[in-house]
Amino acid sequence: MSDATAHQQRSVLVTGGNRGIGLAIARAFEANGDKVAITYRSGEVPEGLFGVTADVTDASSIDAAFTAVEAEHGPVEVLVANAGVTRDTLLMRMSEDDFTSVVDTNLTGAFRVIKRATKGMIRLRKGRVVLISSVVGLYGSPGQVNYAASKAGLVGIARSMTRELGGRGITANVVAPGFINTEMTAALPEDTQKNYLSAIPANRFAEPEEVANVVRWVSSDEAAYISGAVIPVDGGLGMGH
Ligand code: NDP
C-alpha cells in the first residue's frame, strides 16, 4: 500500500455528524476516501456513513461508541468534536442550568471525546483533533454567555493539548465558523440574522461545506505543522478576535 493510499483511509470520527455542519464534514472526509464514522442521538444514519449512537454528556456512551468505531475502522486518527447546542437568553434570565447544560455538551463533551480519542492517537503516534468552536467564542454575543464561554474554552483545550501532545505527532486546532446556513441559524430571530448580515464583510452566510473543506484541510498531511490555531470561517465577521 502506498503512503498516499494509507493516508486516504484514515479512521475519522465526527460527533453530531448526522446533520448540519457535522454531516457536511463527514461527507468531505468521505469524498477524500477516508473511513468515516459519525455519532448521532436520534433519527437515521446518513447513507454510506458508519453511525454509532452517543451522547457527549455521557462518558460511558462515548466509550462504547469509540469501541464500535475501532472494531469497524481501526483506531480513530481524526476526531472532529462538532456536537453542540445553544440555549440562548440574556444573562439576567439565564439559569445556572442554562449555563451548565450548554457547557456540559459543548465544552465538557469535547473534553470527554478528546480524552477517549487521544489514548489511541498516542499509541499511533499521530492524530488530528479539530474542535468546532464559533466566532461567538472570541467575539461575544448578547444572549449567549453560556455558548460563548463553552466555545472560548475549546481554544484553551486545543492550545494545552498542543503543548502536551505536539511532540507525539498529534495536532489540535479550532475551527471557528461564523454564520452558516443550518437549522441552528434558521432558528435565530429575523432581526438578529439581519444585524449579523450587515456586520459580515462577505455580506452573506456560508454553506456548511465551506466549513467542512477547512476541517478536512487542517486534518490533512499538508497541515501537519499547524497546531493550536484558531481558524475562522466567518466571512471576516470576527477579524482580529
Ligand atoms: P445542528 O443543531 O444542526 O446539529 C448539532 C449536532 O450536535 C446534531 O448532530 C446533534 O445531534 C449533536 N448534539 C447535540 N447535543 C449532543 C449531545 N449531547 N450528544 C451528542 N450529540 C449532540 O448544529 P450545526 O450543524 O449548526 O452546528 C454544529 C456545530 O457547529 C456546533 O458545535 C455549533 O455550535 C457550531 N457552530 C454552528 C454555527 C452555525 O451557524 N450553524 C456557527 C458556529 C458554530 P442530534 O441530531 O441527535 O440532536
Residue nearest atom 47 of ligand 1, based on CA coordinates: 41
Confidence at 186, pLDDT banded by 50, 70, 90: confident
In this predicted structure, the answer to whether residue 95 has a pLDDT above a threshold of 90 is yes
Give 3 Cα–ligand 1 centroid separation in angstroms. 34
Which amino acid, residue 15?
T
Residue nearest atom 36 of ligand 1, based on CA coordinates: 134
In this predicted structure, the answer to whether residue 240 has a pLDDT above a threshold of 90 is no
211 CA closest ligand 1 atom index: 30
Confidence at 19, pLDDT banded by 50, 70, 90: very high
Give 2 Cα–ligand 1 centroid separation in angstroms. 36
Cα dihedral 231, 180, 192, 199 sign: positive
Residue nearest atom 39 of ligand 1, based on CA coordinates: 180
What does 93-116 look like in DSSP terms, one character per residue? Answer: G--HHHHHHHHIIIIIHHHHHHHH
In this predicted structure, the answer to whether residue 185 has a pLDDT above a threshold of 90 is no
In this predicted structure, the answer to whether residue 60 has a pLDDT above a threshold of 80 is yes
Domain annotation for the chain: domains and CATH numbers: 3-231 (3.40.50.720)
pLDDT of residue 188: 83
pLDDT of residue 200: 96
Give 51 Cα–ligand 1 centroid separation in angstroms. 16
In this predicted structure, the answer to whether residue 5 has a pLDDT above a threshold of 60 is no
- Phi/psi zone of residue 233: left (φ > 0), alpha (ψ -120 to 50 degrees), beta? beta
Residue 11 bridge partners (DSSP): 35
Ligand 1, CB cutoff 6 Å, lining residues: 15-16, 18-22, 39-42, 54-57, 82-85, 105, 109, 132, 134, 177, 179-180, 182-185
In this predicted structure, the answer to whether residue 2 has a pLDDT above a threshold of 50 is no
Give 182 Cα–ligand 1 centroid separation in angstroms. 9
Spatial CA neighbour of 145 closest among 181, 190, 93: 93
Residue nearest atom 11 of ligand 1, based on CA coordinates: 16
Confidence at 8, pLDDT banded by 50, 70, 90: low
- Percent of the chain past pLDDT 70, that is, above it, reads 96
pLDDT of residue 7: 53
Q: Are the CB atoms for 184 and 147 separated by under 8 Å?
A: no
Average predicted confidence (pLDDT) for the chain? 95
17 CA closest ligand 1 atom index: 9
- Read off the pLDDT of each residue in 112-134 and give the average, rounded to a whole number: 98
Which parts of 2-129 fold into alpha helices (H)? 3-8, 20-31, 59-73, 96-103, 109-124
Q: Which residue numbers are catalytic?
A: 147
Give 236 Cα–ligand 1 centroid separation in angstroms. 22
Q: Are the CB atoms for 5 and 65 separated by under 8 Å?
A: no
106 CA closest ligand 1 atom index: 32
Confidence at 162, pLDDT banded by 50, 70, 90: very high
pLDDT of residue 10: 97
Q: Which of 13, 19, 106, 200, when mutated, tests ligand 1's pocket best, judged by the most ligand atoms within 8 Å of its CB?
A: 19
Confidence at 183, pLDDT banded by 50, 70, 90: confident
pLDDT of residue 1: 45
Cell numbers given for 57? 454528556
- Read off the pLDDT of each residue in 183-187 and give the average, rounded to a whole number: 83
Q: What is the per-residue pLDDT across 192-221, written as a single tens digit (0 to 9) for each?
A: 889 889 999 999 999 999 999 999 999 999
Residue nearest atom 34 of ligand 1, based on CA coordinates: 84
- Read off the pLDDT of each residue in 71-83 and give the average, rounded to a whole number: 98
